[in-house]
C-alpha cells in the first residue's frame, strides 16, 4: 500500500497537470502480434493511397507524408510540415530527408533546408532509396548517389523509381524502356536492360542478386541474371511448398537488410538469403494496395484495408529495443508531457527510461496514461516488461 501511494505521488510530479486533451490518435487499432510480425494500423485521413509515404525513427516515431504535408502518426495528429511531400527517408545521423516542391528539406524537431538543395536544385529528384552505405536518388535528370560527404551523378537516364540490389548495384525504372540494372565499379559502369516478363509492371531486386516480378496473370516470377538463367520461373516459398503461390499482389525491397517483402493472396512474406518468414494474409486485406519499405526494414501498406495505412514490423521488431519499439511507444504516449521542457520529469531519452523503468511500468499497468486516462497506443505494459527483462537494449 505504501508503495502504491509512493508511485501515485511520483506520477503526480511526472504528470503534465491540467492540459488540453490532444487530438485523437491516428492509430486505428492497438498493435496486433501475428506470428513473427507486428501489424500496426493507422487512419490515412485525407492522404491518398497513391501519395502516402511513411517512415519511422527512434527520435520522431511514425511519420506520414503526402500531398497534405508531414504528419505524426503517434499520439497526436501533429502537422510538422504543411507542404506536399513526394518522398521521405530517415537519415543515419537523425532526422528525415524530404523531397518537396520547394526543394529538399530535413525534419528534425523543426523543418530546415537540406545541404542537398544547393547541389540538386531544379534537377527533378522525387524518389529515394537507402542502401547500407549511401542514399540513391532518381528523377528527371538521372540517378545520383549521396553519402554525407559526397554527391555523385551515376547516370543521366530519366527514371521514376530506384531499388538497391547491392551496395554498388541498383535497378532503375526508366521513364521510357525496360528497367535497367546498373553496376558501379572502379572501371566504370556496367548496364543491362532487363525485359519485364509477361506484361509485368513491377520488378524488384531480392537477396543474392535474384530479381522478382509480377506476371500480368498474378504469378510470382524470379530470375537470377548472373548465373546463366535465361528464363523467368514461378516462385515457391520453400522447398517444403511445391505449389507456387496463387497470386502475387505486391513486392517491396528491403535494401538495408538485404531482404524482400511480398504480399500474396495467401501470405505476407519476408525473405532473406538464409530464411523465409511467412504469416497468413489477414482476411481484411484487399489486392489494390501500394507497398514501401522504410530505412529500418518496416513494410508500409497503403490501402491494404480501405482508408488504412498498415505497418508490418520487420527485422527491427524481432527483438524489443529502444530504437525498435520503445522509443516509438514513448513518442506515442509519454513525450507530450515528459519532453523535459515543462515541470514534468524528463523521459525523453533512453537513460531516463532505464533509470525509471519500474515506475513507468507500474504507472501504465492499467493500459491507460495516469494523468488523462487515455488508452495506450503503440504498445502495452508487457512490451515494456519484455524490454526490461531483455536488458533494456538500445
State pLDDT tens for residues 205-219.
999 888 999 988 888
From 51-60, 73-82, 260-269, the region with the lowest mean pLDDT: 73-82
Q: Which sign, positive or negative, has the C-alpha torsion 284, 263, 164, 120?
A: negative
Q: Taking Cα atoms as reference points, which of 21, 7, 10, 1 lies closest to residue 336?
A: 21
- pLDDT over threshold 50, residue 23: no
- pLDDT over threshold 90, residue 3: no
How many Å apart are CA 218 and CA 281, to the nearest integer? 16
The Cα-based distances of 232 to 165, 219, 225, 241 in angstroms read: 18, 11, 9, 19
CA R_g for the chain: 22
Report if pTM > 0.85.
no
Residue with cell string 482476411: 283
Q: 260: pLDDT confidence band, cut at 50, 70 and 90? A: very high
What is the tens place of the pLDDT at every residue in 162-211? Answer: 999 887 889 999 988 889 999 887 778 888 888 888 777 788 999 988 89
- pLDDT over threshold 80, residue 50: yes
Helix ranges, 198-344 (H): 327-333
User: Where exactly are the structural domains of the chain?
Assistant: 2-20+336-389, 27-322
On average, the pLDDT of the chain sits at 82
Residue 24: predicted pLDDT = 42
What is the tens place of the pLDDT at every residue in 350-375? Answer: 899 999 999 898 888 887 877 777 77
How many Å apart are CA 387 and CA 230, to the nearest integer? 48
Beta strands (DSSP E) in 203-282 are 203-205, 211-214, 220-223, 233-234, 248-254, 259-264, 267-271, 276-280
Mean pLDDT of 306-311: 92
Give the DSSP H or E segment for 219.
none
Helix ranges, 102-177 (H): 116-120
Q: 76: pLDDT confidence band, cut at 50, 70 and 90? A: low
The three grid cell numbers given for residue 388, joined into one nine-digit string: 526490461
CB atoms closer than 10 angstroms to residue 121:
10
Q: Which backbone phi and psi does 3 adopt, to 5 degrees?
A: -65, -40
| Contact assessment for residue 41 and residue 305, using Cβ atoms and an 8 Å cutoff | yes
How many Å apart are CA 142 and CA 117, to the nearest integer? 16
CA atoms within 13 A on the CB side of 308: 18
CATH numeric code, 27-322: 2.130.10.10
Residue 1: predicted pLDDT = 39
In this predicted model, which residue has the larger pLDDT, 313 or 328? 313
Mean pLDDT of 70-81: 76
- pLDDT over threshold 60, residue 8: no
Residue 312: predicted pLDDT = 92
Mean pLDDT of 66-70: 89
Residues in the chain: 394
Residue 285: predicted pLDDT = 94
What percent of the chain clears pLDDT 90, i.e. is strictly above it? 26
The three grid cell numbers given for residue 323, joined into one nine-digit string: 530504437
- pLDDT over threshold 60, residue 45: yes
Residue 339: predicted pLDDT = 77
Q: Which sign, positive or negative, has the C-alpha torsion 107, 112, 114, 120?
A: positive
Residue 283: predicted pLDDT = 92
Mean pLDDT of 381-389: 85
Mean pLDDT of 85-98: 86
The Cα-based distances of 291 to 73, 82, 252, 300 in angstroms read: 18, 24, 6, 6
Residue 343: predicted pLDDT = 67
Mean pLDDT of 259-287: 91
Residue 309: predicted pLDDT = 93
- pLDDT over threshold 80, residue 378: no
How many Å apart are CA 42 and CA 377, to the nearest integer? 11
How many Å apart are CA 30 and CA 374, to the nearest integer? 13
How many Å apart are CA 35 and CA 124, to the nearest integer? 42
Give the DSSP H or E segment for 291.
strand 290-293
Amino acid at each position: 500500500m505504501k508503495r502504491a501511494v509512493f508511485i501515485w505521488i511520483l506520477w503526480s510530479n511526472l504528470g503534465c497537470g491540467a492540459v488540453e486533451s490532444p487530438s485523437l490518435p491516428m492509430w486505428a487499432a492497438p498493435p496486433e502480434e501475428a506470428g513473427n510480425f507486428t501489424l500496426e494500423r493507422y487512419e490515412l485521413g485525407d492522404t491518398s493511397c497513391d501519395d502516402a509515404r511513411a517512415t519511422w525513427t527512434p527520435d520522431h516515431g511514425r511519420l506520414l507524408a503526402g500531398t497534405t504535408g508531414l504528419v505524426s502518426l503517434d499520439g497526436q495528429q501533429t502537422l510538422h510540415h504543411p507542404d506536399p511531400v513526394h518522398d521521405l527517408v530517415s537519415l543515419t545521423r537523425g532526422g528525415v530527408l524530404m523531397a518537396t516542391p520547394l526543394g529538399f528539406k530535413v525534419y528534425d524537431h523543426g523543418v530546415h533546408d537540406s545541404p542537398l538543395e544547393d547541389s540538386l536544385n531544379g534537377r527533378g529528384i522525387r524518389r529515394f532509396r537507402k542502401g547500407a552505405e549511401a542514399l540513391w536518388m532518381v528523377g528527371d535528370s538521372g540517378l545520383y548517389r549521396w553519402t554525407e560527404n559526397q554527391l555523385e551523378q551515376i547516370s543521366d537516364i530519366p527514371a521514376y523509381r530506384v531499388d538497391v540490389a547491392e551496395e554498388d548495384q541498383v535497378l532503375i525504372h526508366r521513364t521510357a524502356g525496360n528497367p535497367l540494372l546498373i553496376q558501379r565499379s572502379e572501371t566504370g559502369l556496367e548496364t543491362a536492360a532487363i525485359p519485364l516478363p509477361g506484361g509485368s509492371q513491377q520488378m524488384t531486386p531480392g537477396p543474392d542478386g535474384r530479381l522478382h516480378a509480377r506476371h500480368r496473370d498474378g504469378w510470382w516470377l524470379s530470375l537470377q541474371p548472373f548465373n546463366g538463367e535465361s528464363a523467368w520461373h514461378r516462385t515457391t516459398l520453400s522447398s517444403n511448398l511445391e505449389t507456387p503461390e496463387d497470386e502475387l499482389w505486391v513486392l517491396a525491397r528491403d535494401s538495408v537488410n538485404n531482404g524482400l517483402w511480398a504480399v500474396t493472396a495467401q501470405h505476407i512474406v519476408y525473405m532473406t538469403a538464409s530464411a523465409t518468414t511467412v504469416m497468413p494474409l489477414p482476411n481484411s486485406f484487399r489486392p489494390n494496395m501500394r507497398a514501401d519499405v522504410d530505412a529500418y526494414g518496416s513494410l508500409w501498406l497503403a490501402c491494404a484495408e480501405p482508408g488504412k495505412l498498415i505497418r508490418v514490423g520487420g527485422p527491427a521488431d524481432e527483438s524489443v529495443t529502444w530504437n525498435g519499439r520503445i522509443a516509438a511507444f514513448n513518442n506515442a504516449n509519454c513525450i507530450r508531457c515528459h519532453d523535459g521542457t515543462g515541470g514534468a520529469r524528463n523521459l525523453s531519452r533512453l537513460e531516463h527510461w532505464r533509470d525509471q523503468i519500474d515506475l513507468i511500468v507500474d504507472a501504465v499497468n492499467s493500459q491507460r496514461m495516469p494523468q488523462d486516462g487515455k488508452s495506450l497506443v503503440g504498445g502495452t505494459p508487457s512490451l515494456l516488461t519484455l524490454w526490461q527483462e531483455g536488458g533494456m537494449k538500445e
